Amino acid sequence: MSLVFAGIASHAPGITGRAHLADPKMVHEFHGAFRTMGERLAAARPDALIVVAAEHFANFFMNNMPSFAVGMAERYQGPIEDPEWLGIARTAVPGNAALSLRLIREMMQSVDLAYAEEWQFDHGIMVPLHFLTPHYDLPIVPVNINCQGPPLAPLHRAWALGEALRRAADSVPERIAIIGTGGISHWPATPDSGKINEAWDREFLERWQANDRQAMLSYTDEATYRDAGQGGFEIRTFVAVAAAARGRGALHHFRPIPMFAVGCTIADMSIGA
């Protein structure tokens, strides 16, 4: 088979952990858009979901920080954070080790990967799964991009990762879905937490919807850090999904919610040839 669904979504911990503190109407609209995305995902009938997320020092640290890593386990645990703080109960999430192995082998033909048979899911994966697969009944293949500890892989390497993910998905008989999770502009764990550069976010999302490779890859880390904070480095996950999908995007929801410290985003992308 091939890729049957592609999309991007925000993953900030406040989305679930501080929902009671934000404007109820905004929360209702955003959470509703998240759940509707889950309905579209289910309608695509995937056999597995690849979640491309950012490293938050949950599984890797500066003594061993791979640019790209893929999980290869039958089962994962999450969230690694305090469940009461995140608002998500700790649970077991199914994987598919045999599928992960086949995907990894194919991806390694063009991209250097690390892999892990043990993996703790943090908010970067658990927040999206809470809405998209609330029964945790869809096997997950976690893909990790270092967006935290420089030197970071250049954006064109994130694009290459997405191309490798698409090629791998095309090589297996299972129906594969892919979600990229992250923020756009945000300044987590800094005095500027809650700041959102809406203009920067909307420009990036326009480029993403057009799947304009040249425009998406034109960002430098220096400019991103200046204009979108260190959280802006997570555009790598969205870039990878665009490269994998090869289509055009549809933005279903975008609204800055300072209590969540991020512009809350839900978007799909058509699957191109």
Active-site annotation, residues: 123, 186
Give residue 77's identity as a one-letter amino acid code. Answer: Q
Sign of the alpha-carbon dihedral angle for 268, 270, 271, 273: negative
Amino acid symbol at 159: W
Beta bridge partner(s), residue 181? 9
Dump the DSSP string for 174-222.
Answer: S-EEEEEE--SS--TTSTTTT---HHHHHHHHHHHHTT-HHHHTT--HH
Confirm if 24 and 272 have CB atoms less than 8 A apart. Answer: no
- Report the 10 Å Cβ neighbour count for 22: 18
Give the start-end residues of each E strand in the chain: 3-9, 48-54, 68-71, 75-78, 91-94, 114-116, 140-145, 176-181, 249-257, 262-269
